[in-house]
Structure 1
Amino acid sequence: MKFLLITIIPHVPNPRTGEVTPITERFREVIAAAELAEELGFDGFGVGERHEPPFISSAPPVVLSHIAAKTSRIRLFTAVTTLSLLDPVRAYEDYATLDHLSGGRLELIIGKGNGAAQARLFNVTPEDQWDRNREGYRLLRRLWREERVTWEGRYRPPLRDAVVVPRPLQREIRIWHGSATSRESVELAAENGDPLFSANVAQPIEPYAELIDYYRERWAYHGHDPADALVGAGSAGYYAARRSQDAIETYRPIFEARTARLRRSGQDPVFPTLEDALERSSLLVGSPQQIIDKVMRYHERFGHEVMHLPADRDGLTERQQRETLELFQSEIAPVLRKEIPSRPFPEPVSPTPTTGGTP
């Protein structure tokens, strides 16, 4: 199994102290988390995309470029690139550039995104968001693969023998499709032979499992070898300690503060208590063996080879975050890597010498 840390860079009060970290410092925390992830041996680090409060992740290519300069091995993920909101030509330019700056360590997770405010900001409607996502994906794929593109669609001006630069370092990039609750992303992934990344955060296991089952069904329908299907899945939170009692005691005030914030915003928590979340959600809190057992139970249902943990401290101290991630890598990850074989991630790409000039 492969392991990522992922953040959508929430900018909210510390659930234990109520303090709000200044924006500059919040970005520095994200960079530090990526450096820690590489130091400890995680396989990837992801930055999501949101265009509305309380998130400050509106420019993931910029953040990931800074992370690329601070790291050398870890793969860099977008989580997700909201193609329904973006001009795919501009998205291609950003990420082809990042592909070079990272030494070919980039992987894209795409999706239509969510949130009414950001949809209004980009003039996207519930009626057209999936069509925009599908059209953006297909054009992005062509731009990545072809040096000259002639294309016409509904949501941006047509291209006529267009040359879009720079050409990427990875001539073929893996594009994952992020899926939370709808079959549209699942169908697009299966149709095109791409991997699926299930959010697996906000609901009990069954809705996510049903979508993954549908992905595998549609994968076979489109003529792909079932053995080639690749699935990743998220987790709703993580904190491990050698004794489960200590893990629960540390995490309880964090969980309760987050639940109270949801209620203040008018939302009913799906998991009203920590005990309920531990029983029915993908929250990973407890001893190393308890976490191993829970991931294995999810794997029996999902068949996933990649999973993510939250990259944010979320009320933990810097020391607590380091210690619990060290415990994950020393006692949890080795067992899961052994028990759940996974396909290797691509190796970084060495630049191909050129004689100069734009093709």
Structure 2
Amino acid sequence: MAQQAYITETDDDDSGPERRTTRIRRLYDRAVTGWRGDRRIWRRGLITAAVAVVLAVVMAAHSHIPNAIGNLGSLTETFLPWFGLLIPVLLVIALARKSATALIALVLPVSVWLNLFGGLLFDKTGSGGDLTVATHNVNADNADPAGTARAVAAAGADVMALEELKATAVPTYEKALEAKYPHHAVVGTVGLWSKYPLSDVTAVDIELGWKRAMRATVATPSGPVAVYVAHLPSVRVKLEAGFTARQRDKSANALGEAIADEKLDRKILLGDLNGTMNDRALTAITSQMRSPQGAVGDGFGFSWPAAFPMARIDQILVSGVEPTTSWTLPATGSDHLPIAARVRVDTEAQ
């Protein structure tokens, strides 16, 4: 008679969902009990807790960090979003040290960072708008100016600004864009291409001694708009001087004054400002204009350097028009990424 083998389920079988849940609960209870039973959890990780508090203070009070030494305040504000990367590092250390003090202290920098940048984690892209604008620092040493021009034009912008135009490359840009943009003007190293007529084209003095800013009236179907194009001076990080930006700051103030004196209510600024919206040095501009990226953008919209974007120093700022969406365009032959935005000029049609 053949023997039959019977396999019965025993208590040691942990393949079922109930057994797995029990094991997970048991491991959790052990961890919690271990922490509760260790009175040192409040004394450990004090240095980690102190670093977390300092991090929170730096982010919350960044505007009070002085610029007297190497423009440290502006340097901090330029890369302020990246300070959040220290939070998960501190979290790992706090967990490894089993420090309740450090974990509680981490609530501070998390709260501050979310208050400053939490809104950028969500896609706030809207719809509508009647004017699309774009701006791009094309890089004077760009090896493919025609390809760069076509790539930016492919975004469908009605008005497009280009900065860092080399005089010898201007004819190449003009030829590549003439089919889509019948109207254009170049002033010094900046230019404006438009599907709509331009008038009152003038250079804007930003106290450099050469022309890197301009202003024009664009006759859009929804009414005239004053469009400014600017390329503020570059900033440098030097070992002996820190973050040097004196000329950039001086030019930003001059540009802010010119925009404040603008007679038209509807204004758009396009360009490479070599500074972020957090940088106090741009207050003369940012105090009277706002960025679509913060209001209707998707993510941080970093634009520089193109290979690994770390900061948004290329800006589209508006006043008197309503932004509906903002985005970053794919890389070109430049070391900057182009950016674009759509705005509603006819605000009464909302």
| TM > 0.5 | no
Question: Quick check: which one's helix share is greater?
Answer: 1
Larger Rg: 2
Question: Quick check: which one's strand share is greater?
Answer: 2
